[in-house]
Amino acid sequence: MRNKIIFNLNWKKLLFSFYWLVVLLIIVDQASKALFLHLEATQGPGFELTIIDNFFYFSYTRNTGAAWSILRDYPIFLVLISLFAGGAMLAYRIIKRKELSSLYKAAWALAIAGTFGNFIDRAFYKLFTGRPGVVDFLHFRFGNYDFPIFNVADMCLVIGLFGLIIMGFIDDNKPKLKQEAVKVEDPRHE
């Protein structure tokens, strides 16, 4: 009976649902953060490892706020916002599952994984590590500019939301582009 259930799965449908990507990205995010929590124990708090000199570093830090440390004085609010935002995105994604293209599903998977990855940090890290905040460690320097330190979840969230915005903009302009194409192809408009 068990083998029959496994083989009756629609593997293509599962692959293109991209729910597996949400789980995979949360695992990668949490594993990378666990590695840096372990390195903190051996290297000390606030350590920095040079990967590419004058460009890319692993700089361990804890961000108790949201992007660029905003709202750092409201940790419970950030936990609730993260949970609400992640839940709302997941609910929308489930409701619209039949209407969304694969690109939209992948972008939603990135955004959802990023939101829940940082939610886990905000909600549970103080409980398990004794210190609050999201673990950040990816650090780029461009000349004299230090880009804010971020993590895998931040990357997923930004790429996913940016993709959704671009695809939404393209979708909103498709009728205009089709009308312009018809005008160009129609010999009566010459």
8 A C-beta contact, residue 132 and residue 139:
no
CA distance linking residue 154 with residue 66, whole number of Å:
10
Which residues are known to be catalytic?
Answer: 136, 154
> Which phi and psi angles does 19 have, rounded to 5°?
-65, -35
CA distance linking residue 87 with residue 93, whole number of Å:
10
8 A C-beta contact, residue 142 and residue 73:
no
Q: The tokens of 156 are what?
A: 């997923």
CB under 8 Å to 59, separation ≥6 — which residues?
Answer: 46, 47, 48, 49, 136, 137, 139, 149
Query: What is the layout of strands, in order, in the sheet containing 134-142?
Result: 48-52, 56-63, 134-142, 145-146
